[in-house]
Structure 1
Amino acid sequence: MNLSFRQLQTFVEVMRAGSVSEAGRALGRTQPAVSAMIAGLEREVGFPLFERERGRLVAKPEAYYFREEAEFLLERLTRSTRTLRDIGNLEKGKLRIACNPAASSVFMPRVLARFLRDKPDVEASLMMRSSPVVTDWIASQQYDIGFAETPAPRQTINSEIFALPGVCALPKDDPLVTREVITPADLDGKPLAMLFEDHAISLQTRRAFDEAGARLNKRFELRTFLPALQLVSEGLCYTICEGLSAVSHQESFGEASSLVFRPFKPDCHLKMSLLTPANRPLSMLVESFAETLRGEVRTLLEKSAGLNQP
């Protein structure tokens, strides 16, 4: 049986109107066209739905039974069409996003809020984990898109890389705030808050101090830069962090912040990546969000480059 939407629509209208001519007027079709559509429907179902009496169609009991089912099918088709239109307009769907701690506190929620502001029927899952876990989630297709520290190349992941510059965080009343750039010589022997030994920023910081012949005084070892910035704000140390954490802090605290940021030389960078599964196509919704995220990351890079110039 191969029933069409138009056949069902015509049948229901004939049942509602009580005549072929009235149904034709309601549907904007000629009377012969309506009659032909009903005849075709009867051929498909395999039995007559109407008696023909003196040029009129008189509904049989089977037609009344079938009407309820036809109206249900039409409603489902209409609802499905509406849903497909909403999906095509990026007004329905679900986003599954994973990001590392640095992006989860301020940056990613703001990107998501801007993207979803005019999409009330889109659902979102935003989960924070360490960068290796985010990478595994994307590789296993548990999440649609990720933002994390750049992993080693994997065939199961597409990775778009962005290099976030390193900056030095200082207490607002520190004498070094008058410097345009902070160097290892400026921090010689001064207490630092640093991440774990094999973190990219920690490795580059140690190399910079070694090459400058400056003493590196690691007072605090931490897992993320968020507590490091708090320790700096308490006047206990300095830290060299990536621009994402610095910009997120500034946007959170504004003028109330007790920190300032200065470029750190020699240059150090943290490579962050927009991650997507390589073995399946992205939905239109995810592609649109990815484009929004790219734009926000570029804006972040611009903000990082101009952090608190004296």
Structure 2
Amino acid sequence: MRLRHIEVFNAVMLTGSVTGAARLINVSQPAVSRLLQHAELQLGFVLFQRNKGRLSATSEALTLYPHIERLFAQLDEVQRLAGNLKRGESARELRVLTVLALSYEVLPQAIKLFRLKHPAVPLSVQALHSPQIVSALVLQEADVGFLFSPLVHPTLAQQPLAEGRMVCVAPKGMLSAALCQQGRATLADLAGFPVIGLDVSDPIGRSLSLACREAEVGLQFGITVQTYHSALALAHHGLGIAIVDSCTALSADRARVEVLTLDPLMAVPVKALFPVGRPGSVAVRAFVRCFEQALQAMM
């Protein structure tokens, strides 16, 4: 199928008729009919059944359509990237992305430090999941992103900033006084207690799952969450022990929970990501330094 065939096919799928497709892509109805017939001729099978002016997709068309949708999504990304490249340096706003865990305590402190030296630079801040941050940076919709163990991407460069670790956040009274006084716990110490599970698609969730297998410890994950602060909130309400990164643990209410170092060490690297081949501005470099200072001061 040629690109024009794909465009017509997509328009008919969206509107359900030749008339609607013609209006959508701004061509004549006969042109849509010809292109559709030519596409079917090249493919060697019928895409639509004609019935009283309406077109019904065949099983072959329905099989093709998800792939066509993905193609149009990629074309949209190309258009967005082209627009961002065209705007270039005209976008004076500093666009910062961060994972949710870094947005509660570290990010505000970094902004405070940044404002002392750059009070007039407009800031746009978003807290997103790691794959969303990577996608936005690839499309040059942001200047810098801060996240844990970022995914490797050929168009992105990364800068290590600090190394946190996994900690155990337990509701008051759930673990023994001796263990809490010691301030450290192993995975084996948590066996038999309700533990808030982390999504295994998350880097920290995968690290926790691997550590449990290596230690041959089976933890009771009665509840599984997608964000570290959700795990922390559940621990605050006594619903289980949260195993979270040390940045998230900064938000722990010590009157309601105990925070213990988790052994063995499960490192949580914090990194900054930038688009490759696009030198960071003075403001970007300054913000990264402030973020690094905030991390070091709090961790």
1:212 Cα shift? Answer: 3.3
Q: Which amino acid is the alignment partner of residue 159 of structure 1?
A: Q
Task: Tell me the equivalent position of 2:187.
Answer: 184
1:171 partnered with 2:171: yes
Q: Which amino acid is the alignment partner of residue 155 of structure 2?
A: T
1:111 Cα shift? Answer: 1.0
Instruction: Measure, in 1, the Cα distance between the counterparts of 2:209 and 2:154.
Output: 32
- In the TM superposition, what whole-angstrom CA distance separates every residue of 1:137-183 from its partner, at most 9, and x where no partner exists? 12222111110123332221111134321110012333242233111
Structure 2 residue runs of 5 or longer lacking an equivalent are: 1-91
Q: Check whether the contact 1:170–1:177 (CA below 8 A) recurs between aligned residues.
A: no
Paired residue secondary structure (2:95): strand
Instruction: Measure, in 2, the Cα distance between the counterparts of 1:133 and 1:287.
Output: 22
Task: Tell me the equivalent position of 1:205.
Answer: 208
Q: Check whether the contact 1:206–1:216 (CA below 8 A) recurs between aligned residues.
A: no
Task: Tell me the equivalent position of 1:275.
Answer: 273
Q: Check whether the contact 1:195–1:223 (CA below 8 A) recurs between aligned residues.
A: yes
Among candidates 196, 200, 211, match of residue 199 of structure 2:
196
Q: Check whether the contact 1:141–1:277 (CA below 8 A) recurs between aligned residues.
A: yes
Paired residue secondary structure (2:192): coil
Task: Tell me the equivalent position of 2:261.
Answer: 263
1:106 partnered with 2:105: yes
1:295 partnered with 2:277: no
Q: Check whether the contact 1:167–1:261 (CA below 8 A) recurs between aligned residues.
A: yes
Q: Which amino acid is the alignment partner of residue 93 of structure 2?
A: K
RMSD of equivalent CA atoms: 2.0
Task: Tell me the equivalent position of 2:33.
Answer: none
Q: Which amino acid is the alignment partner of residue 163 of structure 2?
A: A
Q: Which amino acid is the alignment partner of residue 205 of structure 1?
A: L
Task: Tell me the equivalent position of 2:283.
Answer: 285
Task: Tell me the equivalent position of 1:40.
Answer: none
CA distance 1:211–1:152, shift in 2 (3 Å): closer
Task: Tell me the equivalent position of 1:218.
Answer: 221
1:222 Cα shift? Answer: 0.4
1:204 Cα shift? Answer: 2.8
Instruction: Measure, in 2, the Cα distance between the counterparts of 1:206 and 1:150.
Output: 16
CA distance 1:280–1:193, shift in 2 (3 Å): same
Paired residue secondary structure (2:164): strand
Q: Map residues 31-46 of structure 1 onto 2, 5 A cutoff.
A: none
- In the TM superposition, what whole-angstrom CA distance separates every residue of 1:196-228 from its partner, at most 9, and x where no partner exists? 123233333233333334331001110101121
Paired residue secondary structure (1:264): strand
1:124 Cα shift? Answer: 0.5
Q: Which amino acid is the alignment partner of residue 232 of structure 2?
A: L
Task: Tell me the equivalent position of 2:89.
Answer: none
CA distance 1:210–1:189, shift in 2 (3 Å): farther
Deviates most, 206-215 or 174-183 = 206-215
Instruction: Measure, in 2, the Cα distance between the counterparts of 1:189 and 1:262.
Output: 17
Task: Tell me the equivalent position of 2:83.
Answer: none
Task: Tell me the equivalent position of 1:94.
Answer: 93
Paired residue secondary structure (2:278): coil
Q: Which amino acid is the alignment partner of residue 133 of structure 1?
A: Q
Instruction: Measure, in 2, the Cα distance between the counterparts of 1:264 and 1:197.
Output: 19
Q: Which amino acid is the alignment partner of residue 124 of structure 2?
A: S
Instruction: Measure, in 2, the Cα distance between the counterparts of 1:135 and 1:293.
Output: 18
Q: Map residues 59-74 of structure 1 onto 2, 5 A cutoff.
A: none
Instruction: Measure, in 1, the Cα distance between the counterparts of 2:283 and 2:153.
Output: 24
Instruction: Measure, in 1, the Cα distance between the counterparts of 2:144 and 2:275.
Output: 7
Q: Which amino acid is the alignment partner of residue 276 of structure 1?
A: F
Q: Check whether the contact 2:148–2:203 (CA below 8 A) recurs between aligned residues.
A: no
Which aligned runs of 4 or more in structure 1 are off by greater than 4 angstroms? none
Instruction: Measure, in 2, the Cα distance between the counterparts of 1:290 and 1:272.
Output: 12
- In the TM superposition, what whole-angstrom CA distance separates every residue of 1:89-111 from its partner, at most 9, and x where no partner exists? xxxx5311011111122321221
Aligned length: 204
- Percent of aligned pairs with the same amino acid: 25
Structure 1 residue runs of 5 or longer lacking an equivalent are: 1-92, 304-310
Q: Check whether the contact 1:149–1:273 (CA below 8 A) recurs between aligned residues.
A: yes
1:118 Cα shift? Answer: 5.2
CA distance 1:134–1:167, shift in 2 (3 Å): same
TM-score between the two structures when normalised by the length of structure 1? 0.61
Instruction: Measure, in 2, the Cα distance between the counterparts of 1:213 and 1:280.
Output: 46
Q: Check whether the contact 1:166–1:242 (CA below 8 A) recurs between aligned residues.
A: yes
Q: Which amino acid is the alignment partner of residue 269 of structure 2?
A: K
1:271 Cα shift? Answer: 2.9
Deviates most, 268-277 or 182-191 = 268-277
Paired residue secondary structure (2:186): coil
Q: Check whether the contact 1:189–1:214 (CA below 8 A) recurs between aligned residues.
A: no
